[in-house]
A and B are shown apart, each in its own frame.
With several copies, the nearest count.
Chain A
Amino acid sequence: MTSSVINDADDFVREALEGLVATHGDLLALHDEPLFVTRRNPSTGAVALVSGGGSGHEPLHTGFVGDGMLDAAVPGAVFSSPTSLQVKAAVESVDTGRGVVLVVKNYTGDVLNFSIAAEVLADRHDVEVVVVDDDLATESAADGGPGRRGTAATVVVEKVCGAAARRGDDLAAVAGLGRRVVERSASLGVAYRACTNPLTGALSFDLAPGEIEVGVGIHGERGRSTQQAGTADEVVGDLVGRLVEHLDLGTGARVLLLVNGLGATHPLELSVAARAARAVLRDRGVVVERSLVGPYVTALDMHGLSVTLTRLDDELLELWDAPVSTAAVTW
């Protein structure tokens, strides 16, 4: 019995990659044992950009491999880190000699495996690790913890670093820009329904009718609080308000707005959410210079959304606007 479009659970990610690469044969190449995806036509002479993590968040990261963004994506099993061997092989495959930036979402397993790969590669490759930790829901005073989770700001980091690499920036500059995006970004998510185990059909948590879970991440875990669902304006307004405060955005501040669907959220709903987010920002005098609305960092089929704000400056804006051609975004 399955409750999703799947053959064997053990082959799920590999088969999906085969399908993806067949669909985008002009753009992507599949590498097997260990498993990773690279651009069909690698860039030459630029700093290379590699990211990855557990699967189930697609189009992140495989959908962002292409000209002006990632050189390789390294997928783990659903919600599990890839191994350092995969990361190592991907780096070895794409380094053109100018070094490699690893973009890593802040989860223990991912940080560990990417860092180990960097450690192991250190003798022969220049590697910089950029850790993304934008999720305010996991901010806690206790030190020594794993820190804030990395969620949808990863898309912004990958886009900005990819554009910087493409224009010829050196390794330190590309990594520095990635860290600049991380510093200036914050995200919060909310779920109207948990995600479904693709094999059993079981929900990762239960909500009563009319309840929402605020502060969810992208692995089907519960959030910070269960609340009664208000209107879209109320729910999104609450998230955006907290982001604005955290980033200390005053009148005239310029932002990139990312309204991200977590999987099952309909485009109509995301558009209503985008409208709501813009209204709050307009009221506070914050200027939405650019926005991206869609399912970019999913949590399987979770019904919900996250909002990410990145405070822009002229350079980040220019890098965001730079041409990109991937399976998930093209402009």
Chain B
Amino acid sequence: MGRARLDRGGDLVSAAALDVTSTRAWLLRFSEHVVADADELTELDRLVGDGDFGWNLSAAVRRARPGLESPAETPGELWSRLSDAFLAAGGTSGPLFGLWFGRLGASEATGWTGHDLADGLSRATEAVTRLGGASVGDCTMVDALVPATQAAADAADADWSDAVAAAAAAARTGAESTAPLVASRGRASYVGERARDVVDPGALAVAWFLEAATDTVR
């Protein structure tokens, strides 16, 4: 433990405690991925939904960018700025991700442990399933959120970076599990069989999000 690695911008990123610097690096990394590959998400939503998901998501992260680059005292402040940008976005995903980021970051801690992260994921995912009303198997982002949250809880005694790596792996598996499913909630519930063999874009975005954290500490 006590490892320190370079983030993409060259700052020191603590693998043991998730502080402001490493949180910023994570969230900016995620933003860049979304902006770069928005079309992939849009294409998936086009196949099973109304084809605006990539656009909704990249508009939100672009809106968040100045806030993510401004000074902050705690990681919670950065999460809260990201949350607001998503809450101001359209679609179903905007408010749900906004809620998720908001609950995730609702902590005053300046350096998060693996337990802080696991607690945050648990709060956040609970809120999204409660308000969104979807369960695992409904072919939504929840199919990635729930296993990721469970994996982080299981790895909470480890460094935050190990916990998030476990969560990311679980999210990826969860996202891929949506391909053979026919959606019963939200978007894809209208297209039925046409949605088979297509990964849910919301679930995939959850995987991207957690993978962005592991990228910054790699």
Contacts and interface: CB of A to CB of B under 8 A. Distances in A.
Note whether A and B contact each other (Cβ less than 8 A): yes
Interface of A: 34, 80, 83-85, 108-109, 112-113, 115-116, 119-120, 144
B36 interface: no
B131 A116 contact: yes
B95 A116 contact: yes
A108 B186 contact: yes
Contacts of A34: 88
A320 B89 CA distance: 37
Interface in B56-82: none
A80 B90 contact: yes
A112 B88 CA distance: 13
A116 B97 CA distance: 11
Given A116-B131, A120-B87, A144-B185, 13 more contacts: A34-B88, A80-B90, A84-B95, A85-B88, A108-B92, A108-B186, A109-B95, A112-B131, A116-B87, A116-B98, A119-B99, A119-B131, A120-B102
Contacts, number: 41
Q: Of residues A85, A116, A120, which shows the largest number of chain B Cβ atoms within 10 Å of its Cβ?
A: A116
B92 A83 contact: no
A86 B186 CA distance: 23
Chain B contact residues: helix, strand, loop or mixed: helix
B127 interface: yes
B184 interface: yes
A85 B99 CA distance: 11
Interface string B106-130: 0000000000000000000001000
A65 B94 CA distance: 28
Contact of B131 (A80, A83, A115): A115
B184 A83 contact: no
B51 interface: no
8 contacts: A83-B87, A83-B95, A84-B87, A84-B95, A85-B87, A115-B131, A119-B99, A144-B185
B84 A85 contact: yes
